[in-house]
Chains A and B, each alone.
Chain A
């Protein structure tokens, strides 16, 4: 019984009452003990200091981190417009938490600083890093590259970028008593904890590839020497002003741009969230100039298959250690693509992990970060990815 996990959820109208109710469920799950670490994922409606105060009135001074979401995930399935609280107790293990503010100044440096600081403070061997950065202010790829530089080969990474209920306007991050934006809270699980991470999306390419003839970081200016947005004009049959008037992401979310990755069975996906100047596309992660991109499409069966595979990958990495619970960070695009059937995906993950006795907690993100296995056989190695449209399952043992 090294690690224990308690989950609580509430959608009460009053933010304080909601925070309190969810936190009380966590304590009740943990046999009336206060947790050592608290994760909070909530709809933007609950991004209120009263909600944090309510949770901490129940959980005490345990470090708290989390972010706003586009839906919460608990054992029984997804929950929209709610606050999800996850509490951990770990005998023989420890948690080190920290936060980096003003991400947009230099996201790479922020990722590096946070990772270095958290690993530096660890008094036990670090096992896994979980981060929840702002999903709108910066490119997820930049944050990831910063983290990767300091992470080391033995520490796994998982996380999701904060969301705002599909408004694509402003997200918030939670750290202890603070509600922040443009920030990245993180926690390292150390000591007697086993972690396995699986990440898949199941999207497939359609149509011919387009060459990225001009891009800079997460902004794609041209595809095949035409304004990048023309790919969506062509495929969705929409005029540019229609694509600019509404939030692009609300229309293109399920049709990301995909780049083939060597040694990976799946494409690297990038959501275009806004139309920039001269028809450029502003994406959630970097797109390399000179690379070839294809429009991607998700299907119900392939998405569920990917979710199942991610859960199995994560479980397999526990190496026989008994599963104590799992964190799930799922792209909001999957929720959108699966429509009214999005409950099915969580059922598939839960079933793959062992059925109704498994404790699940997590949220719907604007981008996912995860350590992924690359290559096959002896050449197989770990590398971290910033993905879109994917589901990340972090099995905890």
Chain B
């Protein structure tokens, strides 16, 4: 070719030939231009293609990474790291907003220092939120940014900042931020589409995690509720079983207690009815005496049942007045003197023993019960002492006997309803097991306490306290607690 060219040049190229040569040369240049232009366009297309592949790859990576967990913290840090690793942002972050207040709630960031990130979030209300409400993909670049954005970019030591709002339907649930130290003047349509898809991917993952968490929480609450209800049911069931047992005991006891005097009464009445004329007077008196005792026993039993019923239903009424405990004790002694027979009844109250506000009948009922019990267990020549003394804004009253005493393990049980000590005396003297529970309820309703101290074969000390000035409000409150005190 070179040789041909040389030979041509040797043979004096004419003007026409030179023009043709120049024309061919220009044509060659035009062909080169077409070649370069095509090559350029192909490269551009190829670059766009590569960019889209890498964007899809980034989307896929972020998708598979954040959708493999429901842990919101992991998702947030995964997105923030992906912005840096896959999308080339030097600094990035993601913020999840509180549902109602729309304030930043949870966040993760990469590349920012903690101080920078704090300053960035400080601008949320004034700068970020209005921007997030404006566009799907919001870009600010140092050279063109308004003053306040310029200051923020400067503070963060970046030249461009991208904000991607995350929405579920129309509600803003958070946003992603990416910042670069280099100027990004504008984003192409495909870049905008990509970032919008990226934000959608992120918001879906976050919403899923949030729903999962809510579901988990609901499940947990449900499970807790089921457990609580089951526990309540078990407890209620146990209470019912106990109550059923108590009721059965009560019925059996009450039937027995009612039947025993009734049988006696019926027997003596039948005898008197059929053999009235044949029964001598002295026997008749004995029979009538028995009838009287058994009727008393029935009355007492019914009264006690009524008392318990009133106390439990809160219908027990009190007549408060200033009373002398010593006088009441004396009345009780008088009432029980016959029954006491050879047992000595002693009263020991100091002269300055104060009067107290109480219901005298209820207090008498308590003391009759305590002294009556003491009499039941006292040896024939024993002594029962009822003493009183002042104590811390109230009084203490003590009923002491010389009976066999109560074992320590039984000392609290004797105040349980229908509980009776298993001993010879009780077997001979049937009772309801309601006396001491009624005593405790009445003393409690007076604002006091009752307990027993005893050692085997050393007698019993039933002790109760009473306040000097009973607070009426506390009585009302106590009324409401009657069930509890019983």
Contacts and interface: CB of A to CB of B under 8 A. Distances in A.
Interface string A36-62: 000000011100000000000000000
A324 interface: no
B304 interface: no
B1 to A, nearest CB: 17
Interface stretch (B36-44, B222-230, B255-263): B36-44
Interface in A317-339: 336-337, 339
A45 B35 contact: no
Given A207-B33, A208-B29, A340-B50, A255 B40 contact: yes
Interface in A321-361: 336-337, 339-340
A81 B88 contact: yes
B56 to A, nearest CB: 13
Given A207-B29, A207-B32, A45 B182 contact: no
A295 B32 contact: yes
A208 B36 CA distance: 13
Contacts of A169: 159, 182-183
Given A13-B84, A45-B88, A297 B36 contact: yes
Nearest to B85: A13
A254 interface: yes
Interface in A1-34: 11-15
Given A207-B28, A234-B33, A45 B47 contact: no
B33 A339 contact: no
B402 interface: no
A13 B111 CA distance: 8
B43 A254 contact: yes
A112 interface: no
Contacts of B43: 254, 336-337, 339
B46 interface: yes
Nearest to A251: B40
A45 B33 contact: no
Contacts of A255: 36, 40
A12 B85 CA distance: 7
Given A13-B85, A207-B28, A207-B32, A297 B110 contact: no
- Central interface residue in B36, B46, B80, B88, by most chain A CB within 10 Å: B36
Interface string B89-112: 110000000000000000000110
A372 B110 CA distance: 44
B181 interface: yes
Contact of A14 (B33, B53, B110): B110
Interface in B44-95: 46-47, 50, 53, 80-81, 84-85, 88-90
Contacts of A45: 84, 88-90, 111
Contacts of A235: 32-33, 36-37, 40
B29 A15 contact: no
Interface in B6-43: 25-26, 28-29, 32-33, 35-37, 39-40, 43
Interface string A165-186: 1010110000000000000000
B interface secondary structure, majority: helix
A295 to B, nearest CB: 6
A107 to B, nearest CB: 23
Nearest to A245: B185
Contacts of B110: 13-14
Contact of B50 (A170, A254, A295, A339): A339
A207 B36 contact: yes
Contacts of A340: 46, 50, 53
A301 to B, nearest CB: 14
Contacts of B81: 13
Interface string A196-228: 000000000011100000000000000000000
A237 interface: yes
Contacts of B35: 206, 297
Given A45-B111, A167-B182, A340-B50, A297 B39 contact: yes
A164 B182 CA distance: 9
B171 to A, nearest CB: 29
Interface in A143-170: 164-165, 167, 169-170
A244 interface: no
A165 B50 contact: no
Contacts of A43: 88
A140 to B, nearest CB: 21
Nearest to A209: B29
Contacts of B50: 339-340
A11 B39 CA distance: 33
Contacts of A165: 88, 182
Interface string B277-320: 00000000000000000000000000000000000000000000
Contacts of A383: none
Given A45-B84, A208-B29, A236 B90 contact: no
B364 to A, nearest CB: 86
Given A13-B81, A45-B111, A236-B36, A208 B183 contact: no
Contacts of B89: 45
Nearest to B38: A237
Contact of B85 (A81, A207, A237, A336): A81
A356 to B, nearest CB: 26
Contacts of B37: 235-237
A91 to B, nearest CB: 38
Nearest to A45: B90
A169 B143 CA distance: 13
Contacts of A167: 182-183
Contacts of A206: 32, 35-36
A356 B35 CA distance: 38
Contact of A11 (B47, B80, B85): B85
Given A236-B40, A254-B43, A295-B36, A44 B181 contact: yes
Contacts of A207: 28-29, 32-33, 36
A164 B88 CA distance: 12
Contacts of B46: 339-340
Contact of B181 (A11, A81, A170, A337): A170
Interface in B106-123: 110-111
Contact of A170 (B33, B36, B182): B182
A126 to B, nearest CB: 36
A213 to B, nearest CB: 17
Nearest to A235: B36
A324 B346 CA distance: 117
B58 to A, nearest CB: 11
A44 B35 CA distance: 35
A294 B183 CA distance: 32
A56 to B, nearest CB: 20
Nearest to A299: B39
Nearest to A234: B33
A235 B110 CA distance: 43
Nearest to A207: B32
Nearest to A208: B29
Given A337-B43, A339-B47, A15 B36 contact: no
Interface string B303-342: 0000000000000000000000000000000000000000
Given A207-B29, A236-B37, 15 more contacts: A13-B110, A14-B110, A43-B88, A45-B89, A45-B111, A81-B88, A207-B36, A208-B29, A235-B36, A236-B36, A295-B32, A336-B43, A339-B46, A339-B50, A340-B46
9 contacts: A13-B80, A44-B90, A81-B85, A170-B182, A208-B26, A237-B40, A336-B47, A339-B43, A339-B50
Interface of A: 11-15, 43-45, 81, 164-165, 167, 169-170, 206-208, 234-237, 251, 254-255, 295, 297, 336-337, 339-340
Closest 3 pairs (CB-CB, A-B): A207-B32, A13-B81, A167-B182
